[in-house]
Structure 1
Amino acid sequence: MGQALPVSYVRVVGVERITPRTARVTFAGDALAELMEDRPDQQMKLCFPREGREVPRLPEPDADDTYGMRWYEAYLAIPEPERPLMRSFTVRAYDRRLGLMAVDFVLHGDDGGDGDDGGDGGGPAARWGRDARSGDVLGMVGPSPAYARPLPVADWLLLAGDETALPAIGTLLEYLPAGARAVVYAEVADETEEQVLDSPGEVTVHWVHRDRGGALTDAVRGAELPAGSGAAWLAGEAGAVRALRRHLVDERQLPRNAVEFSGYWRVNLTQDDAPTEEDLAWAKERAAQGSEAS
């Protein structure tokens, strides 16, 4: 007997604008206590109701459908005008005592792309995040332990990404053991988008501002990284992530299995668009890397 794909509903109990372009939405849900794990970088999908509906229409999960293939087929069978729009997110925080989950929505309207953690330009997640109110209900698929990926063990860790990666970076830093060394490069629109990133580890944070001409790829290429064995975690716009991974593996000589990477969004494309050949090639390589690490 398998374990059913986690499918549940969550409701908004609070909204806070933590930067001019980021809303932190707090959710409650009957299933959260059994779904949330004590680990960082928990990935899940939120399902947004179509216009005219207050609650998204979702298929019931199958107990033997561990990876959700049959559930997803049933989801696609819902007529498009009624089918919820689904977007990927990272859990920013979970308060087990209160049973509350926090998720950050990036509210960019002109930065392009459509992807993880609300970084969808003017897409449905950003529009919903701007207007979120207490009592609003979304569907949630996941998080699932089947997709948990431990970080490589090394003397130091590089975390690099844009604002869509900040929720995951924040949780990864909070879970670092005391004394662990980490270097963060985070690309954001401007100084007002910087966030407080706490950690028990020894962390150096470099903010890269687009309004000053900064770019994540240039900043990391020019970085003086620590001595010793290193590992990296990269996330954000897919093209930038690919470029950084090539740089770290080919030029910095980091082992391939020491570089964890995720393309959260793609310029001029949304999660509703079919994957490109390059997307498929990278997904295959990422899956192979995960198999080697397990």
Structure 2
Amino acid sequence: MISNVLPITRQCSSKEQKLLRALRAMNGRNAWPTHAGYLLADIGVDSSGIYSLARLMQAIEKDVEDFELLGPRSQFVSRDELNLLAALGQPLEVEEAARTRARIIGNEQFGGAELIRACAEALERAQVTLRPRAALKSAFNPLSTDSVLTVHPVAERRLRKAHIVSIEEITPRVRRLTLGGDEFDGFSVTAPAQWVLLFLGGDKEHRNRGRIYTLRTFDPALGQLTLDITLNDDGETSNWVRHASPGDEAIVAGPRGGFVLHEDEPWLLLAGDESALAAMSDIISAQPAQRRLTVFIEVSAKEEMQPLPEHSNMNVEWLIRGQSRSLMAAIQACATDHQHGYAWVAAEAATASDIRQTLTRMRGFGFERTHVTGYWKQGETRFKDIAAG
């Protein structure tokens, strides 16, 4: 397959370049997908718009054959990418807008045509103005297929009925749920720190109450998985767990996400709060003995500290919220080797965003060497960061 490209600076405004970089990042290699939401937020796109754009890229991946998306740092732009910008820039009041946008994308049966309108509205709210442009039929200079992105496989979407097998108190604020059932055939854990969506109760009326939790373990022989749930003062899931008993029903979707580091990386920084403990433990267990690990964990009290997997080359610092230095301060003071190391961070969304900026703008980490996720957001009960995967 041969691509057709033009220099991006001649074809796209600065905001259009940032938008394309974010859309490319959603299907990028390495850590790029974790940064897509941050890149869109930088140009003013709100959270609903970010998810509309994510769904659009998934729909294009599924329905539009051979759509050519270049790498996030590419200095070129493909014909397909320019046509996508043309579709997003269509006036919202244009008659037969859905068919017009679908035709521009290159597939008149494209099921995401109305989704393009939602994305266009999100860009309009963010005051991201796209240049008027006509659809391109053919073009320009050849580019080898090596520069075209390899897209990720579609995540597991199956809903599995489950029931509580046991509940264990790990710390004053953490409960470990073991869930089992007859529908975990084909449930496959392929990477550390993968997560599932947990729906309270077993009937359809509860399916809009899903919450994301990292898998602690999965036993394929028994068809059982364990989740560690941090209790909040008055959260819906927390109250459900407090009153739950073995046999109570739930629904599980996934697994999704996960984290795998290239085997040649010599050093890994892990940082997170209570919500990230299960993921961090899973990641530590998967690291080779020769890799140096620097670990910062922030918890609300000493009683919330948990045993971590053993690793021969690991330095751990537990941070007590309000009594010791913050997660941000620990990372700022850490002697990091950003040229030969990698940073994985998961915490409250605002904290995660600040840490990401510190790593990339102050400490010199490239986007490809950081994986920063907001696991929860203060004041929001159903927060999900696109960086979770």
- Give the TM interval when normalised to the shorter protein: 0.7 to 0.9
Name the CA distance, whole Å, in 1 between partners of 2:316 and 2:266: 17
**Aligned residues of 2:269 and 2:294 also touching (Cα < 8 A):** yes
Structure 2: gaps (5+ residues): 1-61, 63-153
Give the counterpart of 2:179 among 12, 24, 27. 27
Name the CA distance, whole Å, in 2 between partners of 1:23 and 1:154: 34
Give the counterpart of 1:182 among 287, 293, 298. 293
> Which residue does the alignment assign to 1:7?
159
**Aligned residues of 1:8 and 1:140 also touching (Cα < 8 A):** yes
Structure number having the greater helix percentage: 2
Against the structure 1 CA distance between its residues 223 and 6, is the aligned structure 2 distance closer, same or farther, given a 3 Å change threshold? same
User: Per-residue CA shift, 1:18-57, capped at 9, x if unaligned?
Assistant: 11110011111223342132421111100013xxxxx231
Give the counterpart of 1:151 among 253, 261, 283. 261
Name the CA distance, whole Å, in 1 between partners of 2:213 and 2:172: 19
User: Is the aligned partner of 1:90 residue 2:237?
Assistant: no
**Aligned residues of 1:43 and 1:91 also touching (Cα < 8 A):** yes
1:190, distance to aligned residue in structure 2 (A): 1.0
Name the CA distance, whole Å, in 2 between partners of 1:108 and 1:202: 34
**Aligned residues of 1:176 and 1:199 also touching (Cα < 8 A):** no
Name the CA distance, whole Å, in 1 between partners of 2:210 and 2:318: 30
Please tell me whether Structure 1 or Structure 2 has the larger radius of gyration of its CA atoms: 2
Structure 1: gaps (5+ residues): 50-54, 58-77, 110-121
**Aligned residues of 1:182 and 1:201 also touching (Cα < 8 A):** no
> Which residue does the alignment assign to 1:139?
251
1:83, distance to aligned residue in structure 2 (A): 5.0
User: Is the aligned partner of 1:222 residue 2:369?
Assistant: no
Counting only pairs closer than 5 Å after superposition, residues 1-294 of structure 1 correspond to structure 2 as: 5-49=157-201, 55-57=202-204, 83-109=207-233, 122-144=234-256, 147-151=257-261, 154-200=265-311, 202-225=313-336, 229-271=340-382, 283=386, 286=387
Displaced runs of 4 or more, over 6 A: 1-4
User: Per-residue CA shift, 1:109-144, capped at 9, x if unaligned?
Assistant: 2xxxxxxxxxxxx21111122222111111111114
**Aligned residues of 2:267 and 2:291 also touching (Cα < 8 A):** yes
Name the CA distance, whole Å, in 2 between partners of 1:90 and 1:28: 16
Against the structure 1 CA distance between its residues 242 and 156, is the aligned structure 2 distance closer, same or farther, given a 3 Å change threshold? same
- Taking CA–CA contacts closer than 8 Å with sequence separation of 6 or more, which of the two structures ends up with the larger relative contact order? 1
Counterpart amino acid of 1:168?
A
**Aligned residues of 2:228 and 2:278 also touching (Cα < 8 A):** yes
**Aligned residues of 1:184 and 1:206 also touching (Cα < 8 A):** yes
**Aligned residues of 2:338 and 2:365 also touching (Cα < 8 A):** no
**Aligned residues of 1:6 and 1:35 also touching (Cα < 8 A):** no
Counterpart amino acid of 1:32?
F
1:97, distance to aligned residue in structure 2 (A): 3.4
> Which residue does the alignment assign to 1:60?
none
Against the structure 1 CA distance between its residues 201 and 39, is the aligned structure 2 distance closer, same or farther, given a 3 Å change threshold? farther
Against the structure 1 CA distance between its residues 203 and 213, is the aligned structure 2 distance closer, same or farther, given a 3 Å change threshold? closer
Comparing 208-217 and 127-136, the one that deviates more: 208-217
Name the CA distance, whole Å, in 2 between partners of 1:101 and 1:209: 30
